[in-house]
Structure 1
Amino acid sequence: MKKKFLALAVLTAMTASIFVGCGSKDANDKPKEALVTEINKPVTIEMWHYMTGKQQEVFDGLVDEFNKTNGKQITVKAVSQGGIQDLNKKVVTASQSDSLPAIINVYPDLATGLIDQGKLFDLSDYINDPKVGMKEEIEKDFIPSFTDEVKQWDGKQYGMPLSKSTEVVYVNKTLLEKLGYSMKDLENLTFDKLAEIAKKAHDKLGIAGFGFDSSSNAFISSLKMDGKDFVELNGTINVDNDWVKTFMDYFKKENESGAFRIPGEDKFLSPSFSNQKILMYQGSTAGASHIKTNGKFDIGVVQVPVFEGKKKAVIQQGASVFVTNNTTPEQKYAAYEFIKFITNKENSAKFAVETGYLPVRRSSADTKIVKAAMADKKSLYGTLYPVAEESLEYSYYTPAVNNAQSARKAVQEKYDAFVTGGIKTVDDFISQLKSAVQTSIGRR
């Protein structure tokens, strides 16, 4: 099911006076808009996102700052659509009626379908433009795996990273030391060492020693350690192989012994970790704010474990910002200028530290706000950020396959059913998972 991605081909009837340069034709031999790089009258654009609570508060503050200081007569109206699923539904509906806003904050798998339909604008010409471009910044400063993720459509860059995270292992240092270990024992952590400590936690403390906050990430990252993508862009599904059988049998054994556990009805392990019912767990950096120690224990953070003989792999996730084709040339330029603003060094740092996400630029580490967070001994963000930053050197992203989120949900369900005994054999697990994933990515 190989994707064919369409190039931008929007014909406008607007006067040539608003364009800079002459029109040209794209690969489909259709007239292509020339870039607008100046705005001569007020322009208002709307952005849809899924942020709520503290995240929305921080983002709204940055939007207000842009509106007051951009000096280009641009006004951005940021609108929360609820959770990510609510946003996705509204985006799909709006795309069908050509009523999308100028900017959407979505995951790449949803972007794939929109690109196929010609709904999203390729930012490459703006990025490479000598006057307003940011090609050098992207190449030298942005986290490579973040920007590579939004360039996986024939090399065209349809988006820019914004709400990004990766995974780390949160550790109850107090209980770890009670077992006779230190944080140094968790450096270059292997699953063999992890299982040893987890077993002692179960035997001596009566609690599980380890768990994955996301069962789908556990499966996908373990597969990636062997160099395989869960699902490739051409639709190839890599779940039926000897390595899958090996690591899934391993996870089942550790869960049955009580050394490992899954979240279960809680959905996430942060509540159990906060209540000292689990020694450590692998979870998103963006979920750190949900951990509450109430002063009863100290927290440590380390990089994720790796299987002996395999390569380190940690997932990077989160939504990016995309510009739509339901816009005038001036609105596209306005959207691009806002994206430049929201992803600059200072704003990326501010958004990250105050929301729990990661900065999308390396240089954000040199900002006052990040340095202050790292110097604050009471700040969990300051503890996890250096670990996450180093982990990003071997991070990966999942290919933006159609309905990837639905496929991931299938992994979550089948993984949990197998390790808890609902699915009896690994062969049945593979058969059921492959069928469920094929159904998901084939759905339109």
Structure 2
Amino acid sequence: MKKSGVWIMAAAVGAMLLAGACAGDSRSTQNMLDPDKPVSIEIWHYYNGPQKLAFDSLVTQFNETVGQEKGIVVEAFSQGNINELSQKIHDAVDKKVGASGVPTAFSTYIDTVYDLDKQNVIASLDSYFTKEELEEYVDAYIGEGRFDEEGSLKIIPTGKSTETLMVNKTDWDLFAADTGASLSDLGTIEGLVDTSEDYYNWTDAKTPDIQGDGKAMFGRDAMANYIILGYYQLTGKSLFSHKGGKVTFEPEEAAFRKLWDSYYIPYINGWFGSYGRFRSDDAKTGDIIALVGSTTGAYYFPDQVTRADDTSYPIEAAVFAAPCFAGAKPSAIQQGAGMAVIASDPKTELAAATFLKWFVEADRNINFSISSAYLPVKEEANDMDLIRESGGFQELPTAVQDALSVSVDVVNKYELYFEPAFSGSSDARRVMEYSLSDRAKADREQVLALAEGGMPLAEAVASYATDQSFQSWYQEFVDGVRAAIDMN
């Protein structure tokens, strides 16, 4: 099985490797645990519904077996969604009035832990894992959890995801039968753009008496992922430079022009679209027939389309790896949560680490992860034969099964990419999430307004598809990202 990973901060590579090489022999710390003097640990998470029930069941199982043997009692509490959990953790650490005491460990994304680590409240976990234990994980998942100057491990991955391309194959087949379009054309972003134009023209031609009423084929969730990963594919570089503890943003304009041409131009032409809160909402209404979204989002891809007139029809889904730019090395975004441990005393930290090790053992992690379409975090567990044999896999919707299968293949064959956290990374990501998509949406509305006012649609599009439009957006984007970095 291929070990995937991208190390972005070249200066930190040595520190990360050193931290891995010096990972402690966790067996030497086991004598701190004593079943006659049990230690209690409290875990905060954001699991709800079936996932919460599954986690609670595992906690009970641990307490009745390993916990009883070693003297560890785990209590777990859901704190709402991930944003509510993050706020409660910050409030607890800051000892705000009315806040609870800090937990022992908590589910988290990297940005939250990065901010808390600056307050010296996050435990380094290297000494509780052997080198061999850490090598069992997908490389990039462990690499994401190392972000301080020493490269110490601050987050243990528990469930990850990537992105997939999901297609309403029922409506695609009608389009393909008339035009000869092939699903293989969607393997690159350039092919996706060209095919979306063809789809728009095909739907427009169905009403020859109404010009310019073609339909969008494609939509995208997580625009920040498009920019972060797309920039890496086009340049082979990170968006951000990390030197001497300072982060700078000096992007290559040509790469951003390609990103602009591959999203903004199709969008203002009507080939791409975004209408509901998520692109799966747009797929449900038939406003688009293809989307790129998270592996976990496969749960929300519809099994039928319901039109505005309330008529509906069943559809079949097809799932593929998210397209890359032509000529780029196959790479995919890495995302998802892990667990961090609050710095306390060695015995309590060891107890938390012991539970986390148990929790992510291959069979157990597979069963828990796939209940919500997350990917297992250990290399051996990213094996579809093992996943298919797990109890819950056959009960998943077909689209989710396919999304997991495609994603596991991506984990094993693609380069997994992530941007390391830094001070201001959350604010910078917010700029990347909305800047390009908001501009494209606003300008598409202006194009349609001009067309409704009598201007030919092609002329209206051309008035926005200019170098000046790009330069205006690009400068605003660069200024916004730099401001996010500078204010932190």
Classify the TM-score, shorter chain. Answer: 0.7 to 0.9
Which of 249, 254, 269 in structure 1 is aligned with 2:266? 254
Q: Which residue of 2 aligns with 1:280?
A: 290
Tell me how far 1:377 sits from its aligned partner: 9.2
Aligned AA (2:160): K
Q: Which residue of 2 aligns with 1:389?
A: 408
2: distance between equivalents of 1:185 and 1:81?
A: 42
2: distance between equivalents of 1:438 and 1:100?
A: 33
Which of 217, 220, 237 in structure 2 is aligned with 1:228? 237
The alignment's TM-score, normalised by the length of structure 1, stands at 0.83
8 A Cα contact 2:193 2:262, kept in partner? no
Q: Cα distance 1:61–1:377, how it changes in 2: closer, same or farther (>3 A)?
A: closer
Q: How many residues align?
A: 408
2: distance between equivalents of 1:254 and 1:189?
A: 17
Structure 2 gaps of 5+ residues are 1-8, 16-26, 204-213, 305-312, 444-463
Q: Cα distance 1:319–1:42, how it changes in 2: closer, same or farther (>3 A)?
A: same
1:19-418 aligned at under 5 Å gives the runs 37-39=32-34, 40-70=36-66, 71-97=69-95, 99-128=101-130, 135-139=131-135, 141-153=136-148, 154-180=150-176, 185-186=183-184, 189-205=187-203, 206-225=214-233, 226-233=235-242, 234-239=246-251, 241-261=253-273, 263-264=274-275, 266-294=276-304, 296-325=314-343, 327-364=344-381, 365=383, 369-371=387-389, 379-392=398-411, 393-418=414-439
1: distance between equivalents of 2:407 and 2:256?
A: 26
Aligned AA (1:280): A
Tell me how far 1:335 sits from its aligned partner: 0.2
8 A Cα contact 1:356 1:381, kept in partner? yes
Structure 1 gaps of 5+ residues are 8-19, 22-33, 129-134
3-state SS of the aligned residue for 1:235?
strand
2: distance between equivalents of 1:442 and 1:44?
A: 41
* Larger deviation, residues 54-63 vs 100-109: 54-63
What is the RMSD computed on CA atoms of the aligned residues? 2.9
Q: Cα distance 1:36–1:419, how it changes in 2: closer, same or farther (>3 A)?
A: farther
3-state SS of the aligned residue for 2:334?
strand
3-state SS of the aligned residue for 1:322?
strand
Q: Which residue of 2 aligns with 1:16?
A: none
2: distance between equivalents of 1:190 and 1:270?
A: 21
The alignment's TM-score, normalised by the length of structure 2, stands at 0.76
Q: Cα distance 1:377–1:165, how it changes in 2: closer, same or farther (>3 A)?
A: closer
8 A Cα contact 1:110 1:402, kept in partner? no
Tell me how far 1:414 sits from its aligned partner: 0.8
3-state SS of the aligned residue for 2:365?
helix
Q: Which residue of 2 aligns with 1:429?
A: 473
Tell me how far 1:382 sits from its aligned partner: 1.8
Tell me how far 1:223 sits from its aligned partner: 0.8
2: distance between equivalents of 1:147 and 1:377?
A: 28
8 A Cα contact 1:168 1:302, kept in partner? yes
Tell me how far 1:116 sits from its aligned partner: 2.3
Tell me how far 1:281 sits from its aligned partner: 0.4
